[in-house]
Chain A
Amino acid sequence: MNSVHDMGGQQGFGPVHLEKAEPLFHANWESRAMAMTVAMGASGQWNIDLSRSARESLPPATYLSSTYYEIWIRGLEKLLLERGMVTQAELEAGQLITPPAKVNKVLTLDTVDAALKAGTPTERPIAQPALFKVGQKVRALNMHPQGHTRLPRYVRGHVGTIVCLHGGHVMPDQHTLRALPPFNVAVEWLYTVVFDGPTLWGTGSDPSVEVTVDAWESYLEATD
């Protein structure tokens, strides 16, 4: 969806503020928020695309006025509520009121290290040949889906060049179509596409700039 999370090319946010001797977390709750989000992600009740979708579909004003880990907590609460894993009354009370839902997996002290080391690869075998090859010109589709997508607005409709093929990867737009496991898994070729700065940003823009995005095959079309 075209929400405020899709920030590439927006203006008015001012300079990048650099903090000297920046701490890893700015409050104790931030570390708990990070770790709970990671742990609950491992529960298997949603996938990374559903969790991104939960954050980016927060009301725009909420998204922009929240700190980073506030967004994570609001997204996590939303995912839990949507699945009936917690109730609003429980969130407010900070206490269990209704019995727990069944989850696929609980990340325990014994399993954390292995889970972090393994990660969640998205590459999958793909039988069909790639439609595009390195050096080929492609156009990013002009599309505005209501649901989750990873094609940023600033490249849509523009022509770029394929610079790399990454094999088959789980396609995020499809991966959010079913909220609960088993998720809707479609595998598509993933490409890196490079765009000239002036193609994206027009007259007066810096000609020495190039921007790449990683794009699934169905985000792209041949130009000839």
Chain B
Amino acid sequence: MTSHSHDHDHDHSTLSEMDVRVRALETLLTQKGYIDPAGIDRIIETYENEVGPHNGAQVVAKAWAEPEFKAWLLQDATAAIASLGFTGRQGEHMVAVENTPDQHNMVVCTLCSCYPWPVLGLPPVWYKSAAYRSRAVLEPRKVLADFGVALPESTRIRVWDSTAEVRYLVLPKRPAGTDNLSQTALAALVTRDAMIGTALI
């Protein structure tokens, strides 16, 4: 037994069933020539380091600071967001929905896990969970309570179920007392959950 195969065997004894299964699949698909492992690494790197909620936060901050951009975002979110360089997979058709004192918006995908990747990155586990997917449309106020959010009874809650290839970005209300902040400082206030509609800022 070479030292290499010894290491290999040793690895397996400490790996979970899914680790083994996914490693086997990757080896097989690579041998078949269906995937390029360097391409796989690049996809992971993209979503680990480059694409994430900081993109969406830039969109929100710009909309708060620039009325023309906000109007464009609400009228044609795909184009407005693309103007900042955020395009592509799972964000091909974007719609932005604005929170107001009368209406709070909240996004879900009850059928799977549709989520606007170019602006928010990959979805968190809770967004994909049975609890969120089942309850967001039935009892959104109670779901918001799980997040520690309480809205006035007079605020209407509109839940957007992403059942097609349209992806939704919530434009949160701009907090009071932020008139003098730069767009960079504004972006730092914007959270992922606020852009899904399960948090306030």
- Measured in the bound complex, the distance between the Cα atoms of B161 and A112 in whole Å is 29
Q: Separation in Å of the A25 CB from the closest CB of chain B?
A: 8
Q: Does B111 lie within 8 Å of A150, measured CB to CB?
A: yes
Q: Does B197 sit within 8 A of A, measured CB to CB?
A: no
Find chain B residues with CB under 8 A from A11 CB.
134-135, 138
B94 CB, min distance to chain A CBs, angstroms: 11
- Report yes or no: B26 in contact with A32, Cβ–Cβ below 8 A: yes
CA distance A106 to B35 in the complex (A): 6
Q: Which residues A183-224 have CB closer than 8 A to chain B?
A: 190, 192, 194, 200-201, 205-206, 208-216
Q: Which residues of chain A are within 8 angstroms of B34 by Cβ–Cβ distance?
A: 39-40, 43, 85, 100, 103, 106
| Neighbouring B residues of A208 by C-beta, 8 Å | 141, 153-157
In the complex, the number of residue pairs spanning A and B with C-beta atoms less than 8 Å apart equals: 269
A119 B39 Cβ-Cβ under 8 A = no
Docked Cα-Cα span, A20 to B135, in Å, equals: 21
User: Is the Cβ of B126 less than 8 Å from the Cβ of A16?
Assistant: yes
Contact with B along A102-118 (1 / 0, CB 8 A): 01001111011101111
- Does B113 reach chain A (CB closer than 8 Å)? yes
Closest to A17 in B: B126
B54, CB-defined interface residue at 8 Å: no
A90 at the interface (CB under 8 A from B): yes
Q: For B29, B89, B91, B128, which residue has the most chain A Cβ atoms within 10 angstroms?
A: B29
Residues on A with C-beta less than 8 A from B130 are 7, 10, 13, 64
Interface centre among A56, A69, A107, A118 (most CB of B within 10 A): A107
Q: Which of B33, B36, B131, B161 contacts A212 (CB 8 A)?
A: B161
> Looking at the complex, which one of A9, A69, A120, A210 makes contact with B89 (CB distance below 8 Å)?
A120
**Residues of A contacting B42 with CB < 8 Å?**
109, 112-113
Chain A positions within 8 Å of B, measured between CB atoms, are: 5-11, 13-19, 22, 24, 26-29, 31-36, 38-40, 43, 48, 52, 55-56, 64, 68-70, 73, 76-77, 85-86, 90-96, 100-101, 103, 106-109, 111-113, 115-123, 150-152, 154, 164, 166, 169, 172, 190, 192, 194, 200-201, 205-206, 208-216
Query: Which A-B residue pairs are the 7 nearest by beta carbons?
Result: A94-B24, A8-B110, A214-B164, A35-B43, A96-B31, A119-B88, A109-B38
A–B pairs, 26, beta carbons within 8 Å: A7-B110, A8-B108, A8-B133, A8-B138, A22-B124, A29-B18, A32-B26, A32-B40, A35-B39, A36-B35, A39-B35, A39-B43, A52-B112, A73-B18, A85-B34, A91-B24, A93-B28, A103-B34, A115-B89, A119-B90, A154-B110, A192-B166, A194-B158, A201-B138, A208-B154, A209-B141
Residues on B facing A (Cβ under 8 Å)? 16, 18-19, 21-29, 31-36, 38-44, 46-48, 87-93, 95, 108, 110-113, 121-122, 124-126, 128-141, 143, 146-147, 153-166
